[in-house]
Amino acid sequence: MNSCLIILTSLQWVKDEIKSMKDSGRFVPIKILQTPQGAWVRIEGNRVLNMCSNNYLGLADHPEIKKAAIEAIEEYGVGAGAVRSIAGSNEIHRKLEERVARFKHMESALVYQGGLLANTGTIPALVGKEDLVFSEELNHASIIDGVRLSSAQRVMYRHMDMQDLESRLKENAGKGRRSLIISDGVFSMDGDIAPLPEIVELAEKHGAMSYVDDAHGEGVLGDHGRGICDHFNLSKRIDVEMGTFSKAIGSMGGFVAGSQELVDYLMRKARPFLFSSGLNPGDAAAVLKAIEIMERDDSLLKKLWENTVYLQDGLRNLGFNLGSTKTPITPVIIGDEKKTLQMSRELYDSEKVFASPIVYPTVPVGTARIRLMPSAVHSRDDMDYALSAFRKTGKKLGIIN
Ligand SMILES: *Cc1c(COP(=O)(O)O)cnc(C)c1O
């Protein structure tokens, strides 16, 4: 009884934290979907236009992919049963790794259970406390965590600023045992594209390893959605290309692609490979099928970009600030956090548009936004529906004239 009371009191700070989040508009309610991902979804019994999933190509609910996953479950079961390094490596993992490497035009690939794990597993295997990591200031949280776990010294460089990167490299020349330059390929909250050719050039010039996180480039950039390295024709020059299967690919899991030696090494060093069970066979099969579909047919990719251009032109014409996006990621930047939450709530309640607010700490204070994600499964009518809802709501809240 006593100890129970002590525990309750010792967690009082959590209540206080929640209250302070609510007061500042940073306690965002979490919506529960009752249907698969798609252009329209059901939430709380209401049919709403889904404008915030990463299901770029609509593959999360693709009939052929679902069938492939079901067949793999019939053949291999639901779980890998062990960590990959002990008894959890199934032939479907090997097949997937070969397929990913081929799709990415890389020599080899290693599959992880998620993109976050790919970053937090790979980075500490590449650098340690004697080393330096040159990290772009807007890098994804999983990169930041990977760098922290590595204990390497982090040198931050400014967003998209290659002069700043070069200065940092020069300042630190001769320091550390090894250096790594790491960047998101497509920035997940802004949609702009890292200048990868310059990054690779600077890495080569300064003897640093190069590492790109292509989570939002896969299925979106490059020939048949092969991603950012293909987009810039750099597959032969980048050292580590990391990606996820949870966005355009529609399923779950992550990977890194690179040289055979890199993969052989990571299989002995990366902690998520050694200490967490392997990817489920159904997910592996889903990814295999998704890549087959992407290679076979790029009509989904074309549709994604058609919708993107139409939506972004429409929003800009209405007077919204979309920052500097170059990809389907469509940030409608409002700035004020409470106003952003209000806009999102209004869109949902009055217009039946599901468009999540994104606030601090996901984006810097003062840059709160609603991030829209058009997809290949949206129709032109859906885009018009979203534009009309943004026009009405934006005017009502005084965000546009
Ligand atoms: C989503 C995302 C990840 C994490 O991928 P998951 O497979 O969902 O864990 C990593 N990096 C970036 C840039 C992302 O946007």
For ligand 1, whether the C-beta of 213 sits within 6 Å is yes
Instruction: Please report which confidence band the pLDDT of residue 122 belongs to, taking 50, 70 and 90 as the band edges.
Output: very high
Pocket lining: 142 vs ligand 1, CB cutoff 6 Å = yes
Determine the average pLDDT of the residues in 180-193: 97
Residue 6 has pLDDT above 70, yes or no: no
The per-residue pLDDT for 84 is 95
Per-residue pLDDT, 7 = 61
Residue in 247, 289, 303, 378 annotated catalytic: 247
- pLDDT tier, 9 (very low <50, low <70, confident <90, very high otherwise): confident
Establish whether residue 188 lines the binding site of ligand 1, counting it when its CB lies within 6 angstroms of any ligand atom: yes
CB of 116 shorter than 6 A to ligand 1: yes
Cα separation, 277 vs 89, in Å, equals 9
For ligand 1, mutation pick of 244, 279, 280 (most atoms within 8 Å of CB): 244
Asked if pLDDT for residue 1 goes beyond 60, the answer is no
Residue 88 has pLDDT above 60, yes or no: yes
With bands split at pLDDT 50, 70 and 90, how would you rate the model's confidence at 331? very high
CA–CA separation, 115 and 121 (whole Å): 10
Q: What is the pLDDT of residue 297?
A: 93
pTM for this model (two decimals): 0.95
Burial class (CB in 10 A: 0-12, 13-18, 19+), 279: buried
| pLDDT (mean) for 161-185 | 97
- Ramachandran category for residue 224: left, alpha or beta (phi over 0 → left; psi -120 to 50 → alpha): left
What is the pLDDT, as a whole number, of residue 387? Answer: 98
In this predicted structure, what is the pLDDT of residue 182?
Answer: 98
The per-residue pLDDT for range 341-367, each reduced to its tens digit, is 999 999 999 999 999 899 888 888 999
Distance, CA 239 to ligand 1 centroid (Å)?
19
Q: Which residue's CA is minimally distant from atom 2 of ligand 1?
A: 215
216 is catalytic: yes
Q: If you measure from the C-alpha of residue 18 to the centroid of ligand 1, how many angstroms do you get, rounded to a whole number?
A: 26
Using an 8 Å Cβ cutoff, are 370 and 332 in contact? yes
* Least confident among 15-24, 53-62, 129-138: 15-24
Residue 140 CA, closest ligand 1 atom number: 13
Instruction: Give nearest CA residue, ligand 1 atom 6.
Output: 115
Q: What share of the chain is helix, strand, coil (3-state, %, to 5)?
A: 45, 15, 35
In short, whether 217's Cβ falls inside 6 Å of ligand 1 is no
Residue 251 designated active-site: no
Q: Residues 216, 231, 289, 303: which is the catalytic one? A: 216
- 32/400 Cα distance (integer angstroms): 30
Structural domains of the chain in order of their starting residue, each with its CATH number = 25-56+298-396 (3.90.1150.10), 62-296 (3.40.640.10)
Q: What is the pLDDT of residue 5?
A: 59
What is the Cα–Cα distance from 85 to 101, expressed in whole angstroms? 20
Residue whose Cα lies nearest atom 12 of ligand 1: it is 215
- Helix, strand or coil for residue 248? coil
Torsion of Cα atoms, 299 then 304 then 305 then 310, to 10°: 120
- Distances in Å between the Cα of 382 and the Cα atoms of 31, 40, 292 are 21, 9, 28
Cβ(215) to ligand 1 under 6 A? yes
- Which atom, in ligand 1's list, is nearest to the CA of 139? 13
